[in-house]
Amino acid sequence: MASLVERMLGAARLDPATYEEVEADRTATLQAALVVVVSSVCIALGTMRSQPGGLVGVTLLRLAGWYIWALVTYLVGTRILPGPRTEADVGQMLRTLGFASAPGIAGILAGLPGVGGIAALLVTVWMIAAMVVAVRQALDYESTGRAVGVVLIGFLAYLLISVVVAGMLVGTVREAG
């Protein structure tokens, strides 16, 4: 079994075998959560300046988003677009998608003057590619195209859920104020 760092490197290299390993390792969910936290902190540090309270908030929101994203992706991938060999559970999606956030560690480079915007864009594309590999492996798809479809549909559903939840939170804050 590979170490956490080896798994993170394998995930960042888009290595399908790494995603298969974490998918099968039921004890790796905590590791996946740690990858999400480290990635979130690095992205927050790269994109936010002098907002320490925002660091905790961003990390908590990304942890919640990871769970919601895994659940939505699981439902889309197993109910709407299953492949002939698709067999997965939410835990497998949590582990593979958690490790798919490993490229986010490079998000700290978004804080560099002059190249920050390009770095942020490249990290985003890299993370999306990692998600596609994670979905393909977790859902046992034979084609990458199906995984891309699940990621796109899942992302749209995730955005819709996020807008509804944000609207409810904003409404609650306004009523309390």
What is the structure's pLDDT at 53? 63
**Three-state helix/strand/coil letters over the chain:** CCCHHHHHHHHHCCCHHHHHHHHHCHHHHHHHHHHHHHHHHHHHHHHCCCCHHHHHHHHHHHHHHHHHHHHHHHHHHHHHCCCCCCCCCHHHHHHHHHHCCHHHHHHHHHHCCCCHHHHHHHHHHHHHHHHHHHHHHHCCCCCHHHHHHHHHHHHHHHHHHHHHHHHHHHHHHHHHC
Distance CA 115, CA 140 (A): 37
What is the structure's pLDDT at 164? 81
Distance CA 64, CA 68 (A): 6
Distance CA 134, CA 1 (A): 18
What is the structure's pLDDT at 83? 93
What is the structure's pLDDT at 175? 59
Q: What is the mean pLDDT of each run of 10 residues along the chain (177 residues)?
A: 94 98 97 96 80 74 90 94 94 97 95 89 95 97 95 86 74 57
Torsion sign across C-alpha atoms 106, 163, 151, 35: positive
For residue range 27-50, list pLDDT tens digits in order: 999 999 999 999 999 988 888 754
pTM confidence score: 0.88
For residue range 112-133, list pLDDT tens digits in order: 888 888 999 999 999 999 999 9
What is the structure's pLDDT at 170? 67
